[in-house]
Amino acid sequence: MDDPGALKSSFAPVIDAGTRLLVLGSLPGEVSLTRTQYYAHPQNQFWRLMGEVVGADLAGAGYDDRLARLRAASVGLWDVVHTARRTGSLDAAIRDHAPNALAALAETLPVLRAIAFNGGKASVIGRAALGLEARWTLVDLPSSSPAYTIGFERKRVEWLKLAPFLH
């Protein structure tokens, strides 16, 4: 029998009452879990892409400053998966997942305008967890992961569509 992988858990959400845009990944990868930081893998383009969206050099900032700048720009972070079994970091390896309570969290955010999904797996799981009657704009994004190999400029064009939700 194949090893289904160790049980992995998501981090706490990074949100506050001013969150207008909630960006959801699937489940932190191995480097992120080891460092207990969202998007810690140096080849993941998340901080560079979000820096384009919010107009700040997030990739060059320290982790706590990155999170503070996102909150100042009304951006929150979380993952769609609460727990899952996974060997390695690829979304395709996620097994036996339990979703996070996305709808319940979103309901606590009084100025939330949009929820964005970082990659296809996040979208599939997140949309199912939110239900068909979600009252927020839902945005599918190309994954910031280095495993998703479309070029940065193509990703950038799609991610920049998030900027209007911040104003």
Catalytic positions are 44
CB 129 within 8 A of CB 106: no
d(CA 94, CA 76): 23
Token digits of residue 41? 């893998």
The sheet carrying 95-99 orders its strands as: 6-9, 81-86, 95-99
- Beta strand pairing status for 81-86 and 6-9? antiparallel
